[in-house]
């Protein structure tokens, strides 16, 4: 019997709610499996993203943590904890080889009526312009392909959020960047970009509130830079009602939440967060002040009542960069990997 639900059984968020609810999730339920159909839904969403000239260079390799338990060790130190917990990892790449067939893709847009004569499109004109690598420098081609990949990734992220999953993009610097080519047998034309964790959040979906953003009027303009696009409070209020705009973090209880998760997954006291969470200072001139340290009593109070994961799932503390090098040498992983 199929375990794919019918549409009426799928509990899905609307787009505004998904955009507003999405957070980079860095704590996952390590043993709650992600349904394969949800991963497929994310990839289907990525496939449908817009791309420059219908380039379609987005590529993804899906990996399951339990089938490849060492993979997290090749990931940059700040991402190791996240990647240990996430049951699914997606390695996002773009394929420069698609530039070779982009002329065909554009002809296809004409063939299917997306582009038309009224907009100035002609078969031979397109044939003369493409492939683009004959015309544009590499840096520009990579920039275009990376923007397209970003669109695809965001589609996948919003699909995941709408289905109740958490995701986080991770820089896979260091070992992973060198290792992915051999590990996944990437063709030379593939450029590995970002690694994404996917799983059910162990932290609240709201991640303790929306993360800091610069003030709206410093980002968006009308007619010229410096002339802020007017931010109508009534529109803000409407978007709050539609869940697109949600309360800014840190919401009350966030310190307790992250420290209890730290304890739950077996990390010792030295890994408990011992600074005071406060309002964001992004956008304030000279706002980057050092955090206030908490006393050990305050830190202990934040984990009162916490218990370790009954499944015995224990995180391996972050392996620092210098240790990774040691590990690579021990395992005989060379730079060429």
Ligand X SMILES: Cc1cc2nc3c(=O)[nH]c(=O)nc-3n(C[C@H](O)[C@H](O)[C@H](O)COP(=O)(O)O)c2cc1C
Q: How many CB atoms lie within 10 A of CB 325?
A: 13
Q: How many CB atoms lie within 10 A of CB 88?
A: 23
The backbone torsions φ and ψ at residue 8, rounded to the nearest 5 degrees and listed phi first, read -70, -15
Instruction: Kindly state the smallest distance separating residue 23's Cβ from ligand X, in Å.
Output: 4
Nearest to 38 by CA among 202, 150, 156: 156
Q: Judged by CB, which is closer to ligand X: 106, or 267?
A: 267
Instruction: Kindly state the smallest distance separating residue 253's Cβ from ligand X, in Å.
Output: 17
Q: Judged by CB, which is closer to ligand X: 26, or 65?
A: 26
Cβ neighbours for 288, distance < 8 A, ≥ 6 positions apart = 281
The token pair that represents 292 in the structure block: 């206030």
Instruction: Kindly state the smallest distance separating residue 319's Cβ from ligand X, in Å.
Output: 15
Q: Judged by CB, which is closer to ligand X: 81, or 115?
A: 81
Instruction: Kindly state the smallest distance separating residue 154's Cβ from ligand X, in Å.
Output: 9
Q: Judged by CB, which is closer to ligand X: 82, or 102?
A: 82
Nearest to 156 by CA among 96, 204, 203, 92: 92
Q: Judged by CB, which is closer to ligand X: 131, or 171?
A: 171
Q: Where are the alpha helices (DSSP H) in the chain?
A: 15-21, 36-47, 80-85, 102-111, 123-129, 138-162, 175-183, 233-241, 254-264, 296-302, 321-331
What 3-state class would DSSP assign to 58? strand
Q: Judged by CB, which is closer to ligand X: 57, or 103?
A: 57
Instruction: Kindly state the smallest distance separating residue 330's Cβ from ligand X, in Å.
Output: 25
Instruction: Kindly state the smallest distance separating residue 147's Cβ from ligand X, in Å.
Output: 12
Q: Judged by CB, which is closer to ligand X: 168, or 294?
A: 168
- In total, the chain counts a number of residues equal to 337
Instruction: Kindly state the smallest distance separating residue 304's Cβ from ligand X, in Å.
Output: 27
Instruction: Kindly state the smallest distance separating residue 208's Cβ from ligand X, in Å.
Output: 10
Biggest distance spanned by C-alpha atoms of the chain: 75
Positions touching ligand X (CB under 6 A) are 23-24, 26, 78-79, 168-171, 194, 207, 211
Q: Judged by CB, which is closer to ligand X: 78, or 275?
A: 78
* Rounded Cα gap, residues 73 and 179, in angstroms: 11
* Rounded Cα gap, residues 123 and 115, in angstroms: 11
* Rounded Cα gap, residues 137 and 284, in angstroms: 38
* Rounded Cα gap, residues 94 and 46, in angstroms: 12
């Amino acid at each position: 019997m199929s375990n794919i639900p019918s549409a009426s059984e799928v509990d899905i968020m609307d787009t505004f709610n998904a955009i507003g609810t999405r957070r980079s999730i860095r704590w996952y339920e390590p043993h709650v499996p992600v349904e394969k159909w949800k991963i497929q839904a994310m990839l289907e969403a990525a496939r449908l993203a817009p791309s420059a000239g219908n380039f379609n260079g987005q590529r993804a390799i899906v990996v399951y943590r339990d089938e490849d338990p060492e993979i997290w060790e090749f990931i940059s130190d700040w991402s190791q904890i996240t990647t240990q917990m996430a049951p699914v990892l997606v390695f996002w790449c773009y394929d420069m080889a698609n530039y070779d067939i982009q002329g065909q893709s554009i002809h296809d847009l004409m063939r299917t009526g997306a582009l038309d004569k009224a907009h100035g499109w002609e078969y031979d004109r397109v044939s003369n312009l493409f492939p683009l690598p004959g015309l544009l420098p590499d840096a520009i081609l990579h920039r275009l392909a990376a923007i397209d990949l970003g669109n695809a990734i965001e589609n996948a992220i919003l699909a995941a959020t709408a289905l109740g999953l958490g995701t986080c993009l991770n820089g896979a610097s260091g070992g992973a960047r060198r290792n992915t080519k051999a590990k996944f047998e990437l063709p030379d034309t593939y450029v590995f970009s970002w690694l994404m964790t996917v799983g059910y959040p162990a932290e609240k979906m709201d991640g303790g509130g929306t993360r800091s953003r610069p003030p709206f009027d410093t980002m968006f303009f009308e007619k010229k830079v410096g002339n802020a696009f007017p931010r109508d409070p009534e529109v803000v209020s409407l978007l709050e009602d539609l869940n697109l705009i949600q309360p800014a973090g840190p919401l009350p209880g966030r310190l307790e939440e992250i420290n209890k998760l730290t304890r739950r997954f077996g990390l010792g006291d030295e890994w408990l967060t011992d600074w005071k969470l406060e309002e964001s200072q992004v956008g304030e001139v000279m706002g980057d002040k050092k955090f206030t340290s908490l006393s050990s009593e305050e830190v202990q109070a934040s984990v009162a009542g916490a218990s370790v994961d009954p499944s015995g799932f224990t995180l391996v503390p972050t392996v620092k960069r210098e240790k990774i090098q040691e590990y690579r040498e021990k395992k005989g992983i060379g730079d060429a990997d």
